[in-house]
Structure 1
Amino acid sequence: MTRILIVDDQEMIRIGLRTILGTHPGFDVVGDVGDGLEAVRFVREQPVDVVLMDIRMPGVDGVEATRRIRETHPAERTRIVILTTFEEDETVLAALRAGANGFLSKAAGPAELTAGINEVAAGGGALSAAAAAALIGHVTEQPAVTVDAAMADRFAALTPRERDVVSAIASGLDNDQIAATMFISPYTVKTHANRAMAKVGARDRAQLVAFAYRAGIAR
């Protein structure tokens, strides 16, 4: 059973999320709070597997709350999914740098939301299409930099198929799209992606994309 904490300053959103997640047999919503400071206190007092964190809140926002939670709770212990309507590139990057494991839009339907939570709870990283586009856009708009030789060495350990999957992820494709392009199953795509993340030391797909650009295998 995945224990979930909902963090959002709007009560109606918290109620809606509780309603959606409460129907999932594998989820247990252990609490919902209205600001980042309450979230930090809750996580320190009770075991939580996944935090659904709003990013724009008065006082302690989602980015700062994520950073504070990470001071005492590593990703292996508590996973954090940023849930927001704001998907500007700087917001995505700030959340990821603070230690978030996923980034989903509040406009996501129940199926995408539950799939994203399951992906993050299992050790992966959920990244909505809009968030992926924002991240990729930010990286590609930066001035060209010299290839990071140490990072390139990490990617040298990847198989040709793993490199192809990483390149496809960096281009903004999801598992189903990659599977259709490569004539393999979405499960196989996920397996290649997870192996690639393990080999290069990326905690999630967003970091994998950033590493790929540093290594020079994505442009």
Structure 2
Amino acid sequence: MAYLQKKMSLPQYTCVNKEIFLQNIYPLRKPVILKGLDLGDCRSKWTVDYMSIAGGNQEVKIHVSEVQHMDFMKKNFIYRTLPFDQFVHRAAENKHKEYFITEDEKYYLRSLGDNPRRDVADIRQQFPNLAADIRIPQFFEKDQFYSSVFRISSPGLQLWTHYDVMDNLLIQVTGKKRVVLYSPQDALYLYLSGDKSEVLDVDNPDLVKYPLFSQARRYDCVLEAGDVLFIPGKNGYFYHFSVEQI
């Protein structure tokens, strides 16, 4: 069966300030790529060696997978703990001398609060030295700001398709990230289970098992270092992304 899913690109804006964002972009409730924002020193400072020193040796809980496509529903990964400095170096490797499953396993860190059951992720609390390097765009009031989730992953890793209920500013500091989004209007084609889609490989889906998926319209983009992707939460844009490199 031919895979003919319609693909569309996202609009891009350059050097947007708070006034422009709130007046011209936010009210449309559509995802856009923001370029040319001042993100601080992280753009130049966040090398593997620097982050491993500045981030310290605190232990972090990570996902470890022996395959490229991580599946949250089937749990085709394991949770393990590593000192942050060791994790950063492992995540930058394609082959590992030390590993949990295989020498080409992949890693993913999604930072958690100090008490994961009670505290939200906050880079200023969990990674204060690294937080000092990044300037998060101040488009919202402080009481509207919920969390700042710090993410690092191995080259080529793809996360499961899912959606968030809150507005997101996805900041790409280093490397590249491919992002695929779907409109909430196409939810019936996405085979949702809760906030996640059963369709794991959106590029080569099983259309015998998921025949309606080909009718979903997809929005494709590649985030370069320094790009910020605004994903509106109220409209529930489902998104799937893969990190090309750190």
Relative to the length of structure 1, the TM-score reads 0.29
Q: Which has the higher contact order (CA 8 A, sep 6+)?
A: 2
Looking at CA atoms only, which structure, 1 or 2, has the larger radius of gyration?
Answer: 2
More helix, by proportion: 1
Q: Structure 2 length normalisation: TM-score?
A: 0.27
More strand by share: 2
